[in-house]
Amino acid sequence: MDPHLATEAAPAGSPPPTLLDGNPVADRIRTELERPIGILADAGVTPELALVSMTESGAGRTYVSMKQRACAEAGIRGSVHGIDPGAPAERLFERIEALNADPAVDGIAVQTPLPDHVDTRAVARRIDPAKDVEAVHPETLGRLGTGNPEYKPPTPHGIQRLLAAYGIETTGRHAVVVGRSETVGRPVATLLSSRGPGGNATTTLCHSHTDDLGAVTRTADLLVVAAGEPGLVDAEMLSAGVVVIDVGINRVDAGDTSGRQVVGDVDFDSAAESAGAITPVPGGVGPVTLSMLPYNTVDAASRHSAVDVELP
């Protein structure tokens, strides 16, 4: 499937958009990891991801469980290290230092959001870049920006893998990214504009101060929305046939007795009227992001053990 630029809305009666389901893509990545994990096992190496949880957020604790399950499904070890959210920040720093020094640990992932008294950037700086499988350390992000990444951030890399799995070309296309976070928006714009497969796009990075956001998003062949604002983008902000990647995970009132529901940053029903392809929320980017954490951890284990493996 090839996205194309158009300014008019999709004609009435046009076929529904391609649904970019991330689950089969994640399954394929886990299957592809079986061989390198087997090679490491034969050498006596079991990749281990240390999941550090100091979050007060119920959603954050759920993500830790999901990451641990993703490790188990991939065939690597996921150990959870819980810290009381009321403890001083130094307690978290000490735990990270211990994990940095532990030769059995290949990757470290600290769950966010953290309590208000803990500086997220200070936490990122304390993770050994060699174990920074979530790509949050300034050195890791710097290497990404210079085109020489050690580890790609799981969500941006997962977006690349999702697009490739559905045959969506990025070379020469105009990619618009809404959101400038250090974990998704900025790195996905960098990866999409980088040389090589999954890159070579012309990218525009939008944010809360972008004037007339819709005028910019309507120029996109590929639109990535990672702003953390439910329903920010609708059909009026899209060109016909655009590929829409919705990274948003927002819990909102369902408006009925069912309680709360998870929605994206894109109004799915509205956007589906114009999009040529679109990710669902949940079930789009999320499963692929989860599969990229074991992927990076296997990569780290190979580097640390000097056992060469070929990653997919």
What's residue 27's pLDDT? 97
CA atoms within 13 A on the CB side of 195: 3
Q: pLDDT below 50 — which residues of the chain?
A: 1-9
What's residue 146's pLDDT? 94
Domain contains 30: no
Examine the domain organization and report whether 119 and 162 are in the same domain: no
Q: Residue 122 belongs to what domain range?
A: 46-131
Residues paired with residue 51 on neighbouring β-strands, in sequence order: 80, 109
| CATH value at residue 76 | 3.40.50.10860
Phi, psi (rounded to 5 degrees) for 47: -60, 140
Domain contains 272: yes
What's residue 67's pLDDT? 97
Examine the domain organization and report whether 272 and 159 are in the same domain: yes
Q: How far apart are CA 304 and CA 45, in angstroms?
A: 10
Domain contains 34: no
What's residue 2's pLDDT? 42
Examine the domain organization and report whether 107 and 174 are in the same domain: no
Q: How far apart are CA 165 and CA 291, in angstroms?
A: 14
Examine the domain organization and report whether 73 and 173 are in the same domain: no
Examine the domain organization and report whether 163 and 275 are in the same domain: yes
**How do the residues of the chain divide into helix, strand and coil, expressed in percent and rounded to 5?**
40, 15, 45
Q: How far apart are CA 282 and CA 98, in angstroms?
A: 35
Which of 13, 28, 3 lies closest to 278 in space, CA to CA? 3
Give residue-wise pLDDT tens across range 193-230: 999 999 999 999 999 999 999 999 999 999 999 999 99
Domain contains 257: yes
Domain contains 145: no
Examine the domain organization and report whether 125 and 61 are in the same domain: yes
Domain contains 7: no
Examine the domain organization and report whether 178 and 275 are in the same domain: yes
Examine the domain organization and report whether 109 and 208 are in the same domain: no
Domain contains 279: yes
| CATH value at residue 206 | 3.40.50.720
Examine the domain organization and report whether 157 and 126 are in the same domain: no
User: pTM of the prediction?
Assistant: 0.92
Question: Across the chain, how many H-helices and E-strands are there?
Answer: 10, 11
Question: Which parts of 184-284 fold into alpha helices (H)?
Answer: 185-193, 213-217, 268-271
Q: How far apart are CA 68 and CA 132, in angstroms?
A: 17
Examine the domain organization and report whether 170 and 119 are in the same domain: no
Domain contains 265: yes
How many domains would you assign to the chain?
Answer: 2
Query: For the chain, how big is the Rg over CA atoms in Å?
Result: 20
Examine the domain organization and report whether 110 and 158 are in the same domain: no
Examine the domain organization and report whether 93 and 165 are in the same domain: no
Neighbouring C-beta atoms of residue 211, cutoff 10 Å: 7
